[in-house]
Structure 1
Amino acid sequence: MSQPTDTRVRLDRLADDLSPNGQVQTTTFHKAMDGIEVPKSLPDWYVYPNLALDGEILRGRVLLVDAAGAVGKSAAATAFSAILGWPLVHTERAQVGSFSLSGIIQESMGIDSDFLARVSSGTSGLVIDALDEALMRAGSDNFFAYMDNIASVAASIRSEKPGIILLSRTETADLVADHLSEKDVAFIRSRLDFFGKAEAEQYVRKYMRRRHSETSDAKYNAAMSHPAIFDKLLRKRMVGLGKLVAPNSDIRQEWRDFEDFLGYAPVLDAVAESVAVTNPALELSAGSNGSSSQFLRKVLSDILVREQSKVESGLIEKLRVTLSPGLDMASVENLYSPDEQVSRLAARAAGVEVSVELPASLPSELGATYRDAVEMFLSDHPFMRGKDFASVVFADYVIACAESPAALVSVDRQSASPRVGPFYCRFLAPAEADTHTSIDEKVIARLLASWRAESDVVQAQGFAIFSAGDGECRLTLVRGDMAHGDRGGFAADPLEFRVSNFSSLLELKSPIANISVVGNMGVHFSSDSEELILGDHVVVVVDEVEVDAKSIRVASNDEAPAILVAFSELKANRLERVGGSEALKISSPDSPGRLRSYTFEVESGHRMVTYSQYVDLRAILLSFGRSAAGDPAVYYEKIDQAIVKDNSSRRALFQYLVDRGVIYRDEQLYRLRRDSLSALGFGVSEIYRGEPGPAVLEFLAGIPGNAE
């Protein structure tokens, strides 16, 4: 079966093409029955999606519509039914296993109903939704018996147009397609697509009208009371997110690069809530409210919660059927939790099997049934498109969550070497500024790769600072252009990580640039191509260095040379050649022969100043803010609990500032004495620029403990 093409048809126009003689059909029910209905109308907030078709619409008996999770499949089924007047069978409620399709029709319309004859003649039809949920609830044997009956009805259709519309998630649709093929029933495969740009904006506006109707909350009325200003705010928000999702594309011209995220209904729900304000003009002039990564966290968290609530009720019903007498499901809760979803998705994407801890409230005898059911829904998770993630945003979020200390399982992904995008480092970082996250050293390579990707997005240099000493190991990611604040939607605040259980050997893979490594440790350089590329601003001052490559290409310049200092040993046993620029400096007791022309002596009397110390100084001084008169102040709790915390090097720096008279205590406040700071040769304005000048470096060199 070929995959759906990119031929797009809007749902209402497709329904008009399917309608016999262009007329809405009338269906009479003998009695009300749960699981079958004809909706009288569509809600006014509904937005018609597009469908991508595979084949000609007039050549098939069945239209098989598949969709990723949460795209709006059930709403589309309702729309087809309302437009055509065809009965809508909610398969998840229709007691599949007790009733066949024919049985459902006869039970609801009467034994003498001619409805199935009208379907066969092409004057009416059926819309059958939620086949995936029916499979989970009824089991494969009952489900395929139900499909046999559907195939039999479809085979009787004499019209060239489809008389049955089936809707399910993608993996179940594959099973249905195979089954119809085996029964020799002609069908057309289609995919429910994400919203286009105009439809996405329309969806948000209608969301606002719906929520205002439901709640009467004034914040939802802005789309109606101030439509022009509201549209500007909405487009600004969409453009801001678009810069993150596809930074090299224009959201106004190349929507296809954004639609798998910004055309996705749950994401649009979160976007709508972010622009639900009583004064859109004030919000528009205020600029960004919080970092885009924080907004993305909320969007993705909301999707996981939505998926849990959708799947959980069906799981409980399925599990209840197989439960032994004497046990009940009353206390079972928190099935398919967001944490469980993330752990299972990470393992699935990595191609590894993991044992995820079952919900504590689940009876042990249901474990195997539960795992099988969850795996089926996992295949059609909203974050996935087939076996791949539907968006790099989803991928980075899942990988970061699975590698956080709070993950349900530890998925060893090192062998899988997953590619990460610019969001991974932000998702792994703490949600609040001026705090840190503990990480395993295995994720350092992915953090650095993500940081480089983010640097490309925001078009600003990003520096990585790795330091080990005094019983702690830290990785700090910081912008070289911090003075410009939020760049491309990414906050400029440094990201801080504690590396737990560090082995004292840091692995760095080529290409390497903009990194500082200082500490009592070793560094191992390697390259997949056997060529180690050293770019600008590479400073390594450690005990041991090993170069595991046949060649070194120096890509740095004289103003930012690559500097390798190994106090004990520098090994490069396989090194055959060194090329590129001459901007390489080596210092070691016994440098390898091919590196001796680059050696230099570390002069006595020089003190080592690490970039992390400058980052610490910046964090402390900028916490005071700016003041037009008097000494700037900050509450001492913020300094002690949010800025300095348990960071020993930052605490030593803070005490050094106190000892030099730059900072003093004033009851519940710390104050910054600007004249004392000026006496050191620099001011807060220089700190805002983001690069340390000579006076700042001289001050930092005087910190007790900086080795000569």
Structure 2
Amino acid sequence: MKLNFDRISGLLPTLGPVERHSLSPKGKTPIFTLAEINESFIPPEFSMVSKETPPDDMPQFVLLSAPAATGKSEIARQLSAKTGNPLWDLSKFNLGHNIFTGSLVQHFGFDTIAEFMGRLGDGRVSLILDAADEALVRSGINNYAAAMEDLIGLVKSQSVDVPTAVILGRPDSMQTTSELLKSHGAHYEHYHVNFFDEPMSRAFVQAKATLGQHSVLPEMSDFMTRFFEETKLSFGVTRWEEIDDFLGYAPVLDALARFYIEIDTNPLAYLNETLKDGGNHRTWGLLWDIVERILARETNKFSRSFADSDEEKYAYGEKCYSISNQIRMLVSPNPAEADLDFPETSIPQWEEDVRVQMQQQFSDHPFLSLDPNRDAQSSLQRICNVAFRDYIMVRAVLSNHDETMYEVLIETSTQEFTHSPLFAKFLFVAPTDSKRISEDVLPLLMDSHFSSQFSRTSPLSISQESHFGASDDLAFTHSDSIFVAYMDLADGGLASTTSELQFEGLASGSFQLRSGASNCFIFLLDYTISFGIGRMDFVLGPRTTIFCKSIEADASEIRIIADTPFSNFLRTQRISGSTRAVRAPLANSFAIFGTRSAYPWHDYIIEPRQAGSTLSGWVDPEAAVGLRGFVLWANRYASSAGQPSRYRAQQIDHLLARRRVSERVVSFLIDKGYMSKQGSLYTITFPCNVRSILQVDSSDDTYQQLIRELSAYSL
């Protein structure tokens, strides 16, 4: 069931000017904001997730969930602007008992609070509650649950004409909210904000491109068509719905619009020229190139202005206002004092002039927000869109300039920072001279990937180099401290475009997961993995497998998210820490083996040898990991003959000899007829979709059967 924006706003009462004025603060502490209509707002559509409302009744609460950086706050503002209902930013509050009733008293004062509560009770006003996810992380699940109980207490009847509140947040936060509401018998409807369809995406790009009186070239429609079609081709899909989480993702479209505005040449001609050679210019690489092209234009624009027709001076200005120096200024808390690299010159006046002119041009940099208060914000918050921000972050962490890298790492480590999936994608496609990336970047990569937990993004694997080399019993061994991250950017099959990053080994022996882990496979058998240090809330799942030496769980509460039975596994020798509660929606959504940990983990400990015959949906994680590791290794050696199921035998045999892949897995595949050698090539086919192997998809019955057979197989 899909609803448009008007249907959602139509669930709420509409307040007139007098009623809106009555919401003005009369007490000591204002809590409400009344937003204004944004004429360039492109309203999204919404899909039903779940419903706990009798057929003829209106919901008491409407939940709206959306991935990171998709404009949840703008949706909240426009709901408020259209209906006149008050907007309440929960991220600024520490939630707990009586937070809603107490804050309302602080806002209205004792003389007028009764009038407002009466209007809320009989449906003449509704609350629009934004940033519930930030509030949950800030306050912890227990305090958040207490706040929801207080909010439910504002509803005087189980049958109301309008919702008491609309609550907005990330999917995991709204799933937790729906469980809390259901446990108290409250009626709700939960909708997910859809990515834009193609007409909406076109309208979004055009609206962004025409802001500030910019003119639109006649080729804009053809430009977007070319970009959209090329992207679908690169992802191997034909329908928009199969790739709307990229093409319909607001930050991607925002970057596309900004590129269209800023480029000096005809955008369509540039796009066509760029796409000629394919390869790294496809999809994410193309978006990277589009963003970088804007910075290169800034360098060229500055050099021309500074040079005044002097070629030598032009070259000097080009080196001064280089992309790397622009990145340092964008990242620095004080751009005027950023540590920049300047080339030597025999003309002192040039060095003096160039600094002044660079500051003048930087003040109008296309990456900077038009917000007049931007100087009071942190450096990354000054950036006008998420695609530009995450590009800057990747350039910073890959730079050889420690100050720039650590500015980004410090700012992105806070609970208040909103991560997006773009950082992870950009990191995999970015060109780099460095063979290995600093270990300090790993937590940022994990936070970025975690932000895409409910989209169709490919799994992320983090392992020590040798951990895909399994012994005959599928147990893993350790050889070195090189960390490798894998991700299939095209989300394709066995021979698709898996990308690899290498990280320096963790000197501390500890790997930090800050916000959560989802859709990932982590194999660090000699390391301690910490969950949520300094955080109230940590989310595990969906589709997460972790093999490690020990776990230090310091988040107060750990929430388990699952979309299939046993989609989350932990294998570890020990779990310790200060976590007080583990909350899982179903008993079979989470399994721990290899340890006999005490409360609050003991309810989820399973004996793997007994599980396969007694638990529906169980996938032996060791067999699944062994097979998946073989697929990832084999993927490196696909034949270049254009046949995706054929692999170079010499390299595969070398992997087997070095125990990089399991002899048991290979023997199983050969005995079952899934793998055969023909001359210099192996032919490998599977009875199930290879994506099921890569994603350990226990909902695929054919894959489940394959893993059961592998688990029972012996040499």
Taking structure 1 as the reference length, the TM-score comes to 0.51
Q: CA deviation at 1:400?
A: 0.9
Map 1:660-671; keep pairs closer than 5 Å: 670-671=680-681
Map 1:155-170; keep pairs closer than 5 Å: none
Aligned to 1:355: 339
When residues 535 and 626 of structure 1 are mapped into structure 2, their CA distance, relative to the original with a 3 A threshold, is same
Aligned to 1:204: 219
**Mapped contact 1:260–1:390 kept (Cα < 8 A):** no
Q: CA deviation at 1:517?
A: 1.7
Aligned to 1:297: 288
**In 2, Cα distance between equivalents of 1:414 and 1:289:** 27
**Mapped contact 2:447–2:513 kept (Cα < 8 A):** no
Letter in 2 for 1:204: E
Aligned to 2:422: 423
**Mapped contact 2:463–2:484 kept (Cα < 8 A):** yes
**In 2, Cα distance between equivalents of 1:654 and 1:267:** 58
Question: Match for 2:269 among 269, 272, 295?
Answer: 272
- Is 1:377 the counterpart of 2:361? The answer is yes
**Mapped contact 2:304–2:314 kept (Cα < 8 A):** no
Aligned to 2:248: 247
Aligned to 1:581: 586
**Mapped contact 1:623–1:634 kept (Cα < 8 A):** yes
1:193-251 residue CA offsets vs partner (Å, 9 max, x unmatched):
9437998663538xxxxxxxxxxxxxxxxxxxxxx999965785799999677726799
Letter in 1 for 2:325: E
Aligned to 2:388: 394
Letter in 2 for 1:341: Q
Letter in 2 for 1:416: E
**In 1, Cα distance between equivalents of 2:210 and 2:422:** 23
**In 2, Cα distance between equivalents of 1:626 and 1:389:** 42
Map 1:286-365; keep pairs closer than 5 Å: 291-316=282-307, 332=316, 334-348=319-333, 354-360=338-344
Letter in 1 for 2:423: Y
**In 1, Cα distance between equivalents of 2:517 and 2:548:** 16
Q: CA deviation at 1:451?
A: 3.0
**In 2, Cα distance between equivalents of 1:420 and 1:296:** 18
Q: CA deviation at 1:270?
A: 3.9
Letter in 2 for 1:544: S
When residues 581 and 542 of structure 1 are mapped into structure 2, their CA distance, relative to the original with a 3 A threshold, is same
**In 2, Cα distance between equivalents of 1:558 and 1:301:** 40
Aligned to 1:520: 526
Question: Match for 1:507 among 509, 512, 518?
Answer: 512
- Structure of larger gyration radius: 1
Question: Match for 1:550 among 553, 556, 570?
Answer: 556
Question: Match for 1:616 among 622, 625, 632?
Answer: 632
Q: CA deviation at 1:663?
A: 7.3
- Is 1:466 the counterpart of 2:462? The answer is yes
User: Which of structures 1 and 2 has the larger relative contact order (alpha carbons within 8 angstroms, sep 6+)?
Assistant: 2
**Mapped contact 1:570–1:588 kept (Cα < 8 A):** no
When residues 455 and 617 of structure 1 are mapped into structure 2, their CA distance, relative to the original with a 3 A threshold, is same
- Aligned positions, number: 452
Aligned to 1:444: 442
**In 1, Cα distance between equivalents of 2:440 and 2:398:** 12
Q: CA deviation at 1:316?
A: 4.9
SS at match of 2:268: helix
Q: CA deviation at 1:525?
A: 0.3
SS at match of 2:290: helix
1:130-152 residue CA offsets vs partner (Å, 9 max, x unmatched):
xxxxxxxxxxxxxxxxxxxxxxx
When residues 671 and 440 of structure 1 are mapped into structure 2, their CA distance, relative to the original with a 3 A threshold, is same
**In 2, Cα distance between equivalents of 1:396 and 1:648:** 38
**Mapped contact 2:514–2:533 kept (Cα < 8 A):** yes
SS at match of 1:359: coil
**In 2, Cα distance between equivalents of 1:635 and 1:372:** 61
SS at match of 2:365: coil
Map 1:522-671; keep pairs closer than 5 Å: 522-526=528-532, 530-556=536-562, 559-567=565-573, 569-576=574-581, 578=583, 580-583=585-588, 584-587=590-593, 589-601=595-607, 603=609, 610=625, 613-617=629-633, 619-620=635-636, 622-623=638-639, 632=646, 670-671=680-681
Letter in 1 for 2:294: I
**In 1, Cα distance between equivalents of 2:344 and 2:658:** 40
SS at match of 2:388: helix
Map 1:133-152; keep pairs closer than 5 Å: none
**Mapped contact 1:200–1:262 kept (Cα < 8 A):** no
**In 2, Cα distance between equivalents of 1:703 and 1:295:** 45
When residues 354 and 615 of structure 1 are mapped into structure 2, their CA distance, relative to the original with a 3 A threshold, is farther
Q: CA deviation at 1:266?
A: 0.9
Q: CA deviation at 1:420?
A: 4.1
1:97-143 residue CA offsets vs partner (Å, 9 max, x unmatched):
xxxxxxxxxxxxxxxxxxxxxxxxxxxxxxxxxxxxxxxxxxxxxxx
Map 1:4-23; keep pairs closer than 5 Å: none
**In 2, Cα distance between equivalents of 1:231 and 1:341:** 28
Q: CA deviation at 1:341?
A: 1.6
Q: CA deviation at 1:336?
A: 1.2
Q: CA deviation at 1:339?
A: 2.0
**In 2, Cα distance between equivalents of 1:302 and 1:258:** 11
**In 1, Cα distance between equivalents of 2:583 and 2:228:** 51
Q: CA deviation at 1:476?
A: 2.0
When residues 348 and 633 of structure 1 are mapped into structure 2, their CA distance, relative to the original with a 3 A threshold, is same
Letter in 1 for 2:458: G
**In 2, Cα distance between equivalents of 1:466 and 1:579:** 25
**Mapped contact 1:586–1:600 kept (Cα < 8 A):** yes
When residues 455 and 660 of structure 1 are mapped into structure 2, their CA distance, relative to the original with a 3 A threshold, is same
Letter in 1 for 2:570: L
**Mapped contact 1:421–1:453 kept (Cα < 8 A):** yes
- Is 1:477 the counterpart of 2:493? The answer is no
When residues 260 and 547 of structure 1 are mapped into structure 2, their CA distance, relative to the original with a 3 A threshold, is same
Q: What are structure 2's unaligned runs of at least 5 residues?
A: 1-35, 41-206, 234-239, 375-381, 465-477, 611-619, 697-702
**Mapped contact 1:550–1:575 kept (Cα < 8 A):** yes
**Mapped contact 2:453–2:519 kept (Cα < 8 A):** no
When residues 523 and 578 of structure 1 are mapped into structure 2, their CA distance, relative to the original with a 3 A threshold, is same
Q: CA deviation at 1:382?
A: 2.1
When residues 365 and 614 of structure 1 are mapped into structure 2, their CA distance, relative to the original with a 3 A threshold, is farther
Question: Match for 1:496 among 478, 493, 500?
Answer: 500
Letter in 2 for 1:470: S
1:333-371 residue CA offsets vs partner (Å, 9 max, x unmatched):
62211222223222259x896423322557788656544
SS at match of 2:538: strand
**Mapped contact 1:554–1:578 kept (Cα < 8 A):** yes
Q: CA deviation at 1:507?
A: 0.9
Q: CA deviation at 1:262?
A: 5.6
- Is 1:404 the counterpart of 2:419? The answer is no
Letter in 1 for 2:442: I
**Mapped contact 2:329–2:336 kept (Cα < 8 A):** no
Map 1:179-198; keep pairs closer than 5 Å: 194-195=209-210
